[in-house]
Chain A
Amino acid sequence: MHNELKITDMQTLESNKKTIEESINPISLDLPDFTTDSYKDAYSRINAIVIEGEQEAHDNYISIATLIPNELEELTKLARMEMKHKKGFTACGRNLGVVADMDFAKKFFSKLHGNFQVALEKGNLTTCLLIQAILIEAFAISAYNVYIRVADPFAKKITEGVVKDEYLHLNYGQEWLKENLSTCKEELMEANKVNLPLIKKMLDEVADDASVLAMDREELMEEFMIAYQDTLMEIGLDNREIARMAMAAIV
Chain B
Amino acid sequence: MFGLIGHSTSFEDAKRKASMLGFDHIADGDLDVWCTAPPQLVENVEVKSATGISIEGSYIDSCFVPEMLSRFKTARRKVLNAMELAQKKGINITALGGFTSIIFENFNLLQHKQIRNTSLEWERFTTGNTHTAWVICKQLEINAPRIGIDLKKATVAVIGATGDIGSAVCRWLINKTGISELLMVARQQEPLALLQKELDGGTITSLDEALPQADIVVWVASMPKTIEIDTENLKKPCLMIDGGYPKNLDEKFQGENIYVLKGGIVEFFNDIGWSMMELAEMRNPQREMFACFAEAMILEFEKCHTNFSWGRNNISLEKMEFIGAASLKHGFSAIGLDKQPKVLTV
Interface positions of A (Cβ within 8 A of B):
1-7, 9-16, 19-20, 23-24, 145, 163-164, 167, 216, 218-219, 221-222, 225-226, 229-230, 239-240, 243-244, 246-247, 249-250
Query: 1/0 per residue B14-30: CB within 8 Å of A?
Result: 00000001111110110
Q: For residue B115, which residue of chain A has the nearest CB?
A: A145
Q: Complex Cα distance A245/B40, Å?
A: 15
Are A20 and B22 closer than 8 Å at their CB atoms? no
Q: Is the CB of A16 within 8 A of B40?
A: no
- Docked Cα-Cα span, A164 to B232, in Å, equals 64
CB-contact partner of A4 in B24, B40, B207, B230, under 8 A:
B230
A20→B110 CA distance, assembly (Å): 12
Which A residue sits closest to B211, measured CB to CB? A5
B78 CB, min distance to chain A CBs, angstroms: 9
Q: Are B222 and A12 in contact (CB under 8 A)?
A: yes
Residue ID in chain B nearest A12 by CB atoms: B223
Contacts of B346 in A (CB 8 A): 1
Q: Are A243 and B24 in contact (CB under 8 A)?
A: yes
CB of A13 within 8 A of CB of B224, answer: yes
Q: Would B111 and A226 count as touching, CB distance under 8 A?
A: no
Q: Given A5-B207, A11-B70, A240-B22, do A222 and B37 touch, yes or no (CB 8 Å)? A: yes
Select from chain B the residue with minimum beta-carbon distance to A240. Answer: B22
A16 and B36 within 8 A (CB): no
**Option from A11, A14, A229 in Cβ contact (under 8 Å) with B225:** A11
Q: What's the minimum C-beta distance from A170 to chain B, rounded to whole angstroms?
A: 12
Contact of A13 among B74, B208, B222, B229 (CB under 8 A): B222
Q: Add 16 more A-B contacts to A7-B227, A243-B22 (CB < 8 A).
A: A2-B230, A3-B229, A3-B231, A3-B252, A5-B207, A5-B227, A12-B222, A13-B222, A20-B106, A20-B108, A24-B111, A164-B117, A218-B35, A219-B77, A225-B37, A240-B23
Complex Cα–Cα for A7 and B230 (A): 12
Closest 9 CB pairs of A and B: A221-B36, A246-B25, A3-B228, A240-B22, A226-B38, A222-B36, A19-B72, A247-B25, A243-B25
Select which of A10, A11, A16, A145 is within 8 A of B116 by beta carbon: A145
B32 within 8 A of partner (CB): yes
Q: Which residues of B contact A219 (CB under 8 A)?
A: 73, 77
Closest A residue to B66 by beta carbon equals A11
CB–CB A167/B117 < 8 A: yes
- How would residues 36 to 61 of chain B score, 1 for a CB under 8 Å from any chain A CB and 0 otherwise? 11101010000000000000000000
**CB-defined A-B contacts under 8 Å, sample of 30:** A1-B231, A1-B232, A2-B230, A2-B231, A3-B228, A3-B230, A4-B230, A6-B228, A7-B227, A10-B223, A11-B69, A12-B222, A13-B222, A14-B106, A15-B70, A19-B72, A20-B108, A23-B108, A167-B117, A218-B32, A225-B37, A226-B38, A226-B81, A239-B23, A239-B40, A239-B42, A240-B23, A243-B26, A246-B25, A250-B33
Known: A1-B346, A3-B229, A239-B40. A222 touches B223 (CB 8 A): no
Question: What is the CA–CA distance of A12 and B232 in the complex, to the nearest angstrom?
Answer: 26
Query: Main SS of the interface on chain B?
Result: loop
Q: Is B255 an interface residue (CB 8 A)?
A: yes
Report the separation of the CA atoms of residues A7 and B37 in the bound assembly, to the nearest whole angstrom.
32
**B77, A222: Cβ atoms under 8 Å?**
yes
Minimum CB distance partner of A223 in chain B? B116
Q: Which residue of B lies closest to A9 (CB)?
A: B225
State whether A20 touches B25 (Cβ < 8 A): no
Give A98 to B77 CA distance when docked, in angstroms: 32
Q: Which residues of A contact B81 (CB under 8 A)?
A: 222, 226
Let me know if A229 and B223 touch, CB within 8 A.
Answer: no
Q: Which of B75-114 contact A (CB under 8 A)?
A: 77, 81, 99, 102-103, 106-108, 111
Q: How far is the CA of A250 from the CA of B73 in the complex (A)?
A: 22
Task: Verify A244–B232 contact, CB threshold 8 A.
Answer: no
Known: A4-B230, A13-B102. A244 touches B25 (CB 8 A): yes
A102–B192 CA distance with the chains assembled, in angstroms: 62
**Does B286 touch A at the CB level, under 8 Å?**
no
Complex CA distance for A5 and B221, rounded to whole angstroms: 15
Instruction: Please measure, in the bound complex, the distance between the C-alpha atom of A23 and the C-alpha atom of B73, giving whole angstroms.
Output: 10
What B residues does A19 contact at CB under 8 A?
Answer: 72
Distance of A36 Cα from B303 Cα, bound (Å)? 55
A5 to B103, CA, bound (A): 25
B254 interface hit (Cβ, 8 Å): yes
Q: Which of A1, A3, A20, A247 contacts B24 (CB 8 A)?
A: A247
Let me know if B23 and A222 touch, CB within 8 A: no
Chain B residues whose C-beta falls within 8 Å of the C-beta of A239 in the assembled complex? 21-23, 40, 42
Please tell me if the beta carbons of A5 and B229 are within 8 angstroms of each other in the complex. yes
Task: Tell me, rounded to whole Å, the shortest Cβ–Cβ distance linking A239 to chain B.
Answer: 7
Nearest-CB residue, chain A, relative to B24: A243
Assembly CA distance A24 to B227 (angstroms): 31
Question: Given A1-B232, A20-B72, A250-B28, A218–B224 Cβ distance below 8 Å?
Answer: no
Give the contacting residue for B208; candidates A5, A222, A244; CB below 8 A: A5
A145 vs B80: C-alpha distance when bound (angstroms): 14
Smallest CB gap from A247: residue in B: B25
List residues of chain A with CB within 8 A of the CB of B227. 5-7, 10
Task: List B contacts of A1 (CB < 8 A).
Answer: 231-232, 254-255, 346
